[in-house]
Amino acid sequence: MMVKKNLVLERLRKNQPALGGWIMGNSPVSAEIMALSGFSWVCIDAEHSQVSKETALDMFRAIELHGAEPFVRVSSNNEVEIKKYLDMGARGIIVPMIKSLKDVLNALSHIKFPPEGNRSYALPRCTGYGEFSKEYFIEANQEIFIAIMIEHIDALKDLDDIFACKAINAVFVGPYDLSGSMGIPGQFDNIDFRKVMKTIQSKAQQYGVTMGLHEVHPTSEKILELLKKGIRFIACGMDTIFLMEKSKEFASLNASNICNKTEKPAYNNHSAK
């Protein structure tokens, strides 16, 4: 047996889009549906959801079953947190609240085996419970996708050093946290916020780091526009938003006066025989 190539890394190396799903709900079924739909990757949000590690493991299995890569946004840049998800088979790690080069190096040390990092060796699920551990220990450093999140204004002073790290595969911007750290929460049209975003994007382009984006309310038009701008790593919506938006679309008919505007049905007063 052998460690397969990371589908997302392969697509990005070819300058192809890598579109993914995002899971907030505590349901392996949602994860399976996202993977079954054809996304290249599906990310479990372990930072802002109630998903347990036991449930995440079932999600990973469901995602892998349909050929997508199981990713996770960890709750913090913490060795034990990251190690647990890697050991259970995460193929991509998204690390939140990166503010400095030191934060990046800490994350890399948690994700990479020696000599590139300090990840500890074991024989968990990611190694086939030891069945292909030798291959995994050799290849994991190249096949684990690593994305960092820039979501605090303090990161700007270290952007050059952060983006110069070749081990980073993509960068996500957390717009709400970033704008909040600037004292203008949610003001995405603010001129200062737009300048900061432009700086991050230009630095990413300068250093050849893939720019990622989470389009929470996606449409085909929005995603195509992002692809035209050169953004290749895109999270499309999330399970909870998809469920809410589609539910509201039809529930709104319940609150309307549509029945008063249509012809009343002809009822049969005869009992069924």
Task: For 135-187, write each residue's pLDDT tens digit.
Answer: 999 999 999 999 999 999 999 999 999 999 999 999 999 888 999 999 999 89
Within 10 A of 237 (CB to CB), how many other CB atoms are there?
Answer: 18
Q: Per mean pLDDT, which of 88-92, 230-234, 245-249 is the most reliable?
A: 88-92
Task: For 120-139, write each residue's pLDDT tens digit.
Answer: 999 999 999 999 999 999 99
| pLDDT score of 210 more than 60 | yes
- Residue with the larger pLDDT of the pair 248 and 273: 248
**Sequence-ordered list of residues with C-beta below 8 angstroms from that of 3, at least 6 positions apart, any chain:** 132, 135, 136, 139, 140, 143
In this structure, of 37-41, 101-105, 221-225, 255-259, the range with the lowest mean pLDDT score is 255-259
> What CATH number belongs to 7-145+212-248?
3.20.20.60
| pLDDT score of 208 more than 80 | yes
What pLDDT score was predicted for residue 253?
83
Contact 64, 36 (CB under 8 A): no
Q: Average pLDDT for residues 98-127, to the nearest whole number?
A: 97
Res. 254 pLDDT band, cuts 50 70 90: confident
Residue 122 tokens, joined: 């074991």
Task: For 44-63, write each residue's pLDDT tens digit.
Answer: 999 999 999 999 999 999 99
**What is the distance between the alpha carbons of residues 218 and 19, in angstroms, rounded to a whole number?**
12
Q: Average pLDDT for residues 59-84, to the nearest whole number?
A: 96
Residue 186 tokens, joined: 């949610």
pTM of the model: 0.90
**Three-state SS letters, the chain:** CCCCCCHHHHHHHCCCCEEEEEECCCCHHHHHHHHHCCCCEEEEECCCCCCCHHHHHHHHHHHHHCCCEEEEECCCCCHHHHHHHHHCCCCEEEECCCCCHHHHHHHHHHHCCCCCCCCCCCCCHHHCCCCCHHHHHHHHHHHCEEEEEECCHHHHHHHHHHHCCCCCCEEEECHHHHHHHCCCCCCCCCHHHHHHHHHHHHHHHHCCCEEEEEECCCCHHHHHHHHHCCCCEEEECCHHHHHHHHHHHHHHHHHCCHHHHCCCCCCCCCCCC
Residue with tokens 């739909």: 37
Residue with tokens 């980073």: 168
Residue 141 region by backbone torsions, left for phi larger than 0, else alpha for psi between -120 and 50, else beta: alpha
| pLDDT score of 248 more than 80 | yes
* Residue 207 buriedness (CB in 10 A; 0-12 / 13-18 / 19+): middle
Res. 252 pLDDT band, cuts 50 70 90: confident
Res. 269 pLDDT band, cuts 50 70 90: low
| C-alpha of 245 from chain center | 20
Contact 138, 84 (CB under 8 A): no
Contact 132, 1 (CB under 8 A): yes
**What is the distance between the alpha carbons of residues 22 and 273, in angstroms, rounded to a whole number?**
51
Q: Is the peptide bond before 115 cis (omega within 30 degrees of 0)?
A: yes
What pLDDT score was predicted for residue 262?
56
Res. 260 pLDDT band, cuts 50 70 90: low
Q: Average pLDDT for residues 67-93, to the nearest whole number?
A: 97
**What is the distance between the alpha carbons of residues 247 and 229, in angstroms, rounded to a whole number?**
32
User: Annotated catalytic sites, by residue?
Assistant: 48
In this structure, of 16-25, 166-175, 242-251, 261-270, the range with the lowest mean pLDDT score is 261-270
Which amino acid, one-letter code, is at 100? S
**What is the distance between the alpha carbons of residues 134 and 3, in angstroms, rounded to a whole number?**
10
User: Domain spans of the chain?
Assistant: 7-145+212-248
